[in-house]
Structure 1
Amino acid sequence: MEFTDGVEANNGDLKGKLTKIRLAPLGRRPRSCPEIGPAWWRLRSTHDSVTGLFDTLYLVRQTRARTKNQSTRGRLSSDAQDLLRAAIVFTSAGLDATVQALIEHAVPLLVIGNANAKNRFEIFIENQVRASKVEREFLAALKDGDPHKRMVQLYIRSLTKASFQGSKDLKERACGALGITNAQLPQSRFTKLDEFFTARNDVAHRLDLQASTGADSKPPRTQRRQDEVGQMCGEVLLLIRDLIKATATNLVECRNT
């Protein structure tokens, strides 16, 4: 994540300096691993969309400061705040879409060739068998001509049917299914996203509105700082990138064993 200072206008009509958020580059896609392709392109699209929002934020602040001869310092305008909220929502949507695609395309091979992923899959099957009421789809999978394939499909569906609700949920569902160890991605990388998930929930579920001070008064909204939002979104995108890279490593090892 980089924050670069804008250049002051030559005629002095722009008081202060604008800061432009630049997301860290994703680097190269892991090669010789076609299963990660769909996830990688979703990550790239998310990175591009969030970058576009931050570029628009810069232009909005620049235009407002020049047309109104205002200082660039101080609280952001409401339209600038909405762009920061949009960046949080776009990043969250990209997280769900990317990791779900990664699970969908990588798990079928990993449950065969990766010990950690296979163990999680077997736990899923055991839980289905021991359930007080066995699901109809599970019974149909047992009777199928290729029960393993149907079981894997049910397993993937259970992992991807809901959005990720927090850093713990992301680590348990994604890392477990993809066979990713703590050595590959430590717990601290996930807990750093707690602030992001809190912000995501505040924006997506409450529009950043706080408790009203009166029955008929306009509720205040949480004011976002662009450096904090930029940092949060950047950490999410880099973690997703590293999830993809770790998965690619596990897939390559499956093929080599």
Structure 2
Amino acid sequence: MSRLTLVDLSDLPRKPHGCPPEVERSWAHLVATHKSVGGLFTTLNELRAGQDDMRGAVSETHRDQARAAIVFTAAGIDACLRALLRDSLHTLLSTTGDAHGAFVAHFMANRLAGDMTKATKQAVVNIDPRSALIDLYVEDLAGSSIQGGTDLIRCRNALGLKQEPALDDQILKSHQPFFNARHEVVHELDLVDPSGRGTRGRRHRDLAAVGVQCDGALQLLHAFIAPTARTVKGARRAMGLSTT
């Protein structure tokens, strides 16, 4: 019997019913990322199946496919959450609620305490100050990229989703190993410290573990998108707007 390690993604849950326009772009990023990462895993499986001995050692070429999947998935997380924040906060912050409370608390504690930074002053006097402040807020939340559980928690709170069971603190923190792997691949080129006679090896990447991490991260994005779609529709109803 073949010992070929097949790596695959679970299907995404359905698109939120009556998905509002504020969530459409984030959903599109998720679908595109799922397709790209799934394609990488399909290629990986085909490469493995084409080996003379499918039970042979996993080559660096195969592991590079897994490394690419980590990078693609992480890029999708960044794009998806940034779009979700930028597009939905304009609506969510137009009504009272958890999202507005998190927004006010963040600015009072960070941007409006003490001397204001030049960026904050420019946002306040912008021709569209609300949009400029939201842009600053998203940058504060996500930085150059999402780095792990702490950033995920901040994004969750900003979207007013603190009470969502699927976005519990411990669940979000449990994805930290994935972000650590992304950091190792992107920032350290997956290298380990020199040892032995000065050779430099590369970190071992278990293909099945990478598949599980990427799959879990993409499913987590749906756990952000679905309840955000509901809260946005609720906010739109409160303002007397169409929910689609």
TM-score where L is the length of structure 2? 0.88
Equivalences for 1:137-156 in 2 at 5 Å? Answer: 137-144=119-126, 146-156=128-138
Equivalent residue, structure 1, for 2:111: 128
* Number of residue-to-residue matches in the alignment: 235
Do structure 1's residue 251 and structure 2's residue 232 form an aligned pair? yes
Equivalent residue, structure 2, for 1:159: 141
> Greater Rg, structure 1 or structure 2?
1
Equivalent residue, structure 1, for 2:48: 61
Partner SS state of residue 16, structure 1:
coil
Could you tell me how far apart the structure 2 residues matched to 1:201 and 1:149 are? Answer: 31
Equivalent residue, structure 2, for 1:170: 152
Contact kept? 1:114, 1:250, Cα under 8 Å: no
Instruction: Please give the per-residue CA displacement for 1:76-120, whole angstroms capped at 9, x wherever unaligned.
Output: 011001111111111111111111111110111112225111112
Could you tell me how far apart the structure 1 residues matched to 2:189 and 2:234 are? Answer: 44
Equivalent residue, structure 2, for 1:46: 33
Contact kept? 2:191, 2:202, Cα under 8 Å: yes
Q: Taking CA–CA contacts closer than 8 Å with sequence separation of 6 or more, which of the two structures ends up with the larger relative contact order? A: 2
Do structure 1's residue 33 and structure 2's residue 14 form an aligned pair? no
Instruction: Please give the per-residue CA displacement for 1:183-234, whole angstroms capped at 9, x wherever unaligned.
Output: 34212321221111111111111122111115x6221111111110100000
Partner SS state of residue 18, structure 1:
coil
TM-score where L is the length of structure 1? 0.84
Contact kept? 2:86, 2:134, Cα under 8 Å: no
Equivalences for 1:173-212 in 2 at 5 Å? Answer: 174-184=155-165, 185-212=167-194
Could you tell me how far apart the structure 1 residues matched to 2:178 and 2:149 are? Answer: 9
| Letter in structure 2 aligned against 1:80 | H
Contact kept? 1:121, 1:177, Cα under 8 Å: yes
Summarize the Cα distance change of 1:32–1:227 in structure 2 as closer, same or farther, 3 Å threshold.
Answer: closer
Structure 1: gaps of 5 or more residues:
1-14
Equivalent residue, structure 2, for 1:19: 5
Do structure 1's residue 87 and structure 2's residue 73 form an aligned pair? no
Contact kept? 1:21, 1:230, Cα under 8 Å: yes
What percentage of residue pairs aligned between the two structures are identical?
A: 33
Structure 2: gaps of 5 or more residues:
239-244
Partner SS state of residue 50, structure 2:
helix
